[in-house]
């Protein structure tokens, strides 16, 4: 293992970068990675959350997911990001995994991680899920690989129009980090020597609100069947003036849904019918696989749900639900 002490050394080092290691170590155990490891954890300045002079917030790439979820700067101004971070994986993973690692993690497709299979992502040629079990697969069939991108935080960052800083390459938008989903081999567009340094969140709009929700087949240690994030700003007549909607679990990349955003602008925050109509546009262009057709109406319903929640100022947190007497996934908050 290479342990660079500076960013410059890290950029020069060749191997797979290790931050929290939660995914990398699992892949090494499965035999998916046996090359050199470049440990980023000894480089100072890569973790931490701070407000910039321009009002933006910088989150160091090695900031723990649990810290992202609980930091007052994030929870106050970027609640959908905080909720997303607080919902994923398990408390143990959130305590060790980092925001950078979450964005750059490899795909969760069981075929990719299965010792008996080979696929585009494991260096082979083909997608066994396409003709096999793809019940967790995409409905936006953008590339040769049918497994959805695993980064929930990626979807949340899309709604905040966040950027990332990559050593040697400067700023990229989060959308550019993931590409267009046509590359079946890679989960992001960083190459050797590209070290993700930080995430930048633009200053929040006046009075903006947001919501996040995921549908899962179990409550913990799970990637979502479908997830949706919504961020809104309302005008003085309570109409939606700015809308940002991104979804996960349905495409090879975290996917922003501009069709929904456009349809939401000008809609009254209390007009449920108009919101539902706009939400149905979330599946425009969807091309579901035989086993994922249920995700189409599920995504529409979920997008409507997060838009309504955001419009109502309901961040859809588990704690928020419990406070209002709504059922939660855990009775032991």
Partner 1 sequence: MTNVGASAGRVGGLDRVTGRQRYMADIRLEDALHVKLVTLPCARARIVGVDTSRAWQVPGVRAVFTAADLPDPMPRYGVHYDDRPVLAVGETKFHGEPVAAVAADTLDAAQKAAALVGVDYEELPAVLDVRTALDPAAPLVVDPELRPDDPLAHTNVRREFRYTWGDPDSAAADLVIENTYTFPMVTHFAIEPHAFAVAVDETGVTVWSAIQHPYILQRVMARVLGLPWSKVRVIAPDPGGAFGGKGYPKFEPLLAYMAMATGRPCRLVLTLEETFQAVRRNNAEVRIRTGFAADGSLRFQDIEADFLMGAYVDISARVISKSSHLAAGPYRTPHARILARAIHSHTPPSTAMRGFGTPQFTWALEQQMDEAARRLGIDRLEIRLRNLARKGEEVVPGDTPADGDWVESVQKAAAAIGWGEPLPEGRGRGLAVGIKSSATAGAAYSILRFLYDGSVFVLVGTSDMGQGARTILTQIVADELGVPPESVNVVMGDTAAAPFDYSTSASRSTVFMGGSVLRGCADLKDQVRRIGARLQGCEPDQIEIERGIVRFPGGEERSIVEVVQEGLGPVGGELIAVGTMRGEADPTHPIGGRPWFYEFNCTAVELEVDRKTGEVLIHKHVTVADVGKAINPLQVESQDEGAAVMGLGHTLMEHLVLDEHGRIVNLGALDYRIPTTKDVPLQLESIIVENGDGPGPYGAKGVGEGGLLCVAAAVASAVNEATGAVVRDLPLTPERIWRAMREVTPSGASPR
Please report, as ranges, the residues that interact with partner 1 according to CB under 8 A.
90, 108, 110-111, 113-117, 128, 132-133, 135, 215-222, 225, 294, 297-298, 301-302, 305, 327, 329-331
- Which is closer to partner 1, CB of 195 or CB of 211? 211
Yes or no: say if 243 and 260 are a contact pair by the CB < 8 Å rule.
yes
CB closer to partner 1 out of 35 and 331? 331
Separation CA 75–CA 158 (nearest Å): 17
Q: How far is the CB of 96 from partner 1 (least distance, A)?
A: 16
* Cβ distance to partner 1 smaller for residue 155 or 302: 302
Strands 37-39 and 16-18: parallel
Closest CB to partner 1 among residues 72, 330: 330
Closer to partner 1 at the Cβ: 71 or 257? Answer: 257
Task: For the CB of residue 281, give the shortest distance to partner 1 in the complex, in Å.
Answer: 16
Tell me the DSSP string of 196-219. Answer: EEEEEEPPPPTT-EEEEEEE-SSS
If you search the block for the tokens 């240690």, which residue do you land on? 221
Q: In what order do the strands lie in the sheet with 226-234?
A: 209-215, 226-234, 240-248, 255-256
User: Comparing C-alpha atoms, which of 291, 282, 29, 85 is closest to residue 199?
Assistant: 85
- Output the smallest distance, CB 327 to partner 1, in A: 5
Contact in structure between 206 and 216 (CB atoms under 8 Å): no
3-class DSSP state of 293: coil
Residue among 235, 68, 62 nearest 160 (CA)? 68
**Closest among 22, 43, 36, 35 to 197, alpha carbons compared:** 43
Shortest spacing between CB 195 and partner 1, in angstroms? 27
Residue 268: C-alpha distances to residues 80, 278, 308 (Å)? 21, 12, 11
Smallest gap from residue 34 Cβ to partner 1 (A): 11
Taking the least distance from each CB to partner 1, the nearer of 1 and 330 is: 330
- Cβ atoms of 158 and 201 within 8 Å: the answer is no
Residues 6+ apart with CB under 8 A from 156: 78, 80, 81, 83, 84, 85, 212, 229, 246
Q: CB of 19: closest distance to partner 1 in angstroms?
A: 19
Question: Residue 164 CB, nearest distance to partner 1 (Å)?
Answer: 27
Minimum distance from residue 101 beta carbon to partner 1 (Å): 16
Backbone angles phi, psi at 100, to 5 degrees: -65, -45
108 or 169, CB closer to partner 1? 108
Q: Which is nearer to partner 1, 66 or 205 (CB)?
A: 66
């Amino acid at each position: 293992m290479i342990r660079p002490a500076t960013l410059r050394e890290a950029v020069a080092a060749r191997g797979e970068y290790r931050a929290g290691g939660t995914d990398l170590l699992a892949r090494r155990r499965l035999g998916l990675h046996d090359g050199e490891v470049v440990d980023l954890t000894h480089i100072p300045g890569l973790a931490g959350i701070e407000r910039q002079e321009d009002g933006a917030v910088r989150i160091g790439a090695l900031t723990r997911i649990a810290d992202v979820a609980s930091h007052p700067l994030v929870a106050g101004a970027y609640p959908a990001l905080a909720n997303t971070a607080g919902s994923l994986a398990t408390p143990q993973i959130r305590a060790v995994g980092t925001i950078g690692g979450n964005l750059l993690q490899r795909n969760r497709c069981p075929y990719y991680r299965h010792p008996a299979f080979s696929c585009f992502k494991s260096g082979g040629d083909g997608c066994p899920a396409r003709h096999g079990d793809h019940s967790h697969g995409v409905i936006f069939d953008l590339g040769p690989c049918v497994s959805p991108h695993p980064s929930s935080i990626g979807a949340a960052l899309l709604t905040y129009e966040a950027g990332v800083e990559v050593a040697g390459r400067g700023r990229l938008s989060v959308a550019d980090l993931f590409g267009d989903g046509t590359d079946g081999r890679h989960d992001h567009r960083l190459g050797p020597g590209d070290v993700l340094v930080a995430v930048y969140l633009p200053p929040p709009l006046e009075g903006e609100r947001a919501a996040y929700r995921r549908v899962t087949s179990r409550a913990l240690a799970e990637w979502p069947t479908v997830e949706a994030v919504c961020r809104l700003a309302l005008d003085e007549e309570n109409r939606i003036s700015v809308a940002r909607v991104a979804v996960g679990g349905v495409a090879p990349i975290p996917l922003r849904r501009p069709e929904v955003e456009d349809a939401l602008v000008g809609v009254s925050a209390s007009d449920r019918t108009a919101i539902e109509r706009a939400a149905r546009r979330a599946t425009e262009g969807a091309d579901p696989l035989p086993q994922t057709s249920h995700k189409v109406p599920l995504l529409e319903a979920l997008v409507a749900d997060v838009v309504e929640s955001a419009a109502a100022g309901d961040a859809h947190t588990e704690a928020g639900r419990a406070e209002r007497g709504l059922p939660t996934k855990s009775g032991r908050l």
